[in-house]
Amino acid sequence: DENHKVKSWQRVSEKRAYSSAFDAEGRLWLGHLDGLSRYLPAGGGAWSEEARLLPGKYILDVQVDGQGRVWAGTDGFGLMVI
């Protein structure tokens, strides 16, 4: 839908995402080989690199649970909650 339309890929460091998930606030989370990126649709849309939140850079899976927590599956560091 129009609310989830990504307007720009310029700030995403690795465009090949291995996993994606939307949270309850409409933010798109992408897990990729260079970390975790979050798309913030408010204010016209902006990308935020979230690699500093995780010990590993290779994010193979990202999911949002029923309580709104974002989980990232890493290569070598296990499962992490953001």
Element containing residue 37 per DSSP (H, E): strand 35-40
Give residue-wise pLDDT tens across range 22-68. 999 888 998 888 888 888 877 677 777 776 667 777 889 999 999 99
Contact (CB, 8 A) for 28 and 38: yes
- Tokens 């720009």 correspond to 8
Q: Residue 16: pLDDT band by 50, 70, 90 thresholds?
A: confident
